[in-house]
Amino acid sequence: MADSEASAGTLGTVDEAASRNSRWDRVRPPIYRGLPYIRILLIFATMFLYRSVRTSGRAQEALFNDWLTYAIVVLGFYFVFGLAGQFAFSQAAIFGLGAYASAWATHNPDHPLVYGPIAAVIVCLAVALVFAVIMQRTEHFYFAVGTLGLQNIVILIVSKWKGFTHGSGGQALNIRPLSLFGTKFATEYRVFEFLVVALVILMIMAAFIERSPVRREAIANRDQTVVSRTLGLPTLLNRITMFMLGSFFAALAGALYVHRSSSVTPESFGVGLGLFVFLMMILGGIGSVWGALLGSWFYVYANDKITNAKTSIGGHELREFRPIIFGIILILVMITLPDGIIGLGSKIRRV
């Protein structure tokens, strides 16, 4: 009798533990479920295979690399806008500043190429820190206006400062190609190999941040600022951290972009690109790091199709209507897919 009671007690304990575990699986946030790091590696391995088998021609190879570059920019913007809720139009300017800083640091042929990304990160983080501290008391609309000012200041500086750009009108020419430990990445395919490894590392870093308390604090500060301050959360520090984190990603993307392109002009990083970064984030989905990847993919390939289309409307080429087309797409996505393209997965699962 005692043995049976002990056995029943043991089974009861096991059942209770299993029940608690299953209950925890149901209530814990999706970001803590599964194996995100393995998922990242599998997805990028599939991308690598697809790129190697299906992409042919220099134009298509360059387009694929554009996607990976913009994905890094938008991934950084996810932390600024998606998590922290800061309406920042300056992501394109930081992207451009990182490009120019990297070109400036490697202008001397005796300097190793690694100086470029390091200089880009240092310069961009310094600018982001100073700006975030100055704008610490502003929120929403006023912060967005401030970032527009930062955008214009950066473009004006790189357009006029010849000592920084080593060219007239902001043009930086004859920039050294990507290289690592003496290996040059001169072709688009070799650049792709470099970019995909860099993006995998940054995605793993993003997944690590997603699984840390920083994400919860950023969301709390975004949705309930007063409550967060009352609970003693470092709201100001969190906002500055998110803004600098987004600038870090943009700086690295700028360094990779400029050494891949070998030349750069200020027009490549204007307000238009800042708006399109917003578009990419919203199209992909502001609630997930994968939204950055999907949104940038959609924009890069849709933009290419529109730009190279032979269709004419009323005597005007289709590319002249590009802003209108993307505006319509954005409105339709916000109405039908408020969670972005990434939200299609959850909709399909519910069906």
Distance CA 218, CA 246 (A): 13
- Whether domain 33-350 has CATH 1.10.3470: the reply is yes
Q: Is the pLDDT of residue 351 over 70?
A: no
DSSP output for 182-204: TEE--SHHHHHHHHHHHHHHHHH
Nearest to 292 by CA among 259, 253, 346, 326: 253
H-run or E-run covering 53: helix 36-54
Q: What is the pLDDT of residue 107?
A: 85
Identity at 330, one-letter amino acid code: L
pLDDT more than 90, % of the chain: 21
Q: What is the pTM of this model?
A: 0.84
Identity at 54, one-letter amino acid code: R
Nearest to 74 by CA among 249, 254, 258, 191: 249
Q: Which residues pair with 172 in a beta bridge?
A: 264
Query: pLDDT tens digit string along 56-66?
Result: 677 788 888 89
- Between 303 and 138, residue with greater pLDDT: 303
Distance CA 254, CA 230 (A): 39
Q: What is the pLDDT of residue 336?
A: 84
Nearest to 254 by CA among 241, 240, 236, 273: 273
Query: pLDDT tens digit string along 78-118?
Result: 999 988 888 888 899 999 999 999 989 888 888 888 888 99
- Between 14 and 123, residue with greater pLDDT: 123
Distance CA 73, CA 195 (A): 13
pLDDT more than 70, % of the chain: 86
Coil, strand, or helix at residue 112?
coil
Locate tokens 């298509």: which residue? 60
Nearest to 290 by CA among 347, 207, 219: 207
Span 29-44, average pLDDT: 67
H-run or E-run covering 179: strand 179-180
Q: Are 52 and 190 in contact (CB under 8 A)?
A: no
Query: pLDDT tens digit string along 113-166?
Result: 888 899 999 999 999 999 999 988 887 888 888 999 999 999 998 888 887 887
Q: Are 155 and 270 in contact (CB under 8 A)?
A: yes
Q: What is the pLDDT of residue 216?
A: 86
Q: What is the pLDDT of residue 288?
A: 84
Q: What is the pLDDT of residue 33?
A: 55
Distance CA 142, CA 145 (A): 5
Q: What is the pLDDT of residue 69?
A: 93
Q: What is the pLDDT of residue 349?
A: 61
Distance CA 258, CA 124 (A): 15
Q: Which residues pair with 264 in a beta bridge?
A: 172
For 159, what's the count of Cα atoms within 13 Å in the CB-facing half-sphere?
12
Q: Is the pLDDT of residue 7 over 60?
A: no
Query: pLDDT tens digit string along 229-282?
Result: 888 888 888 899 999 999 999 999 999 999 888 888 888 888 888 888 988 999
- Between 293 and 39, residue with greater pLDDT: 293
Domain residue extents for the chain? 33-350
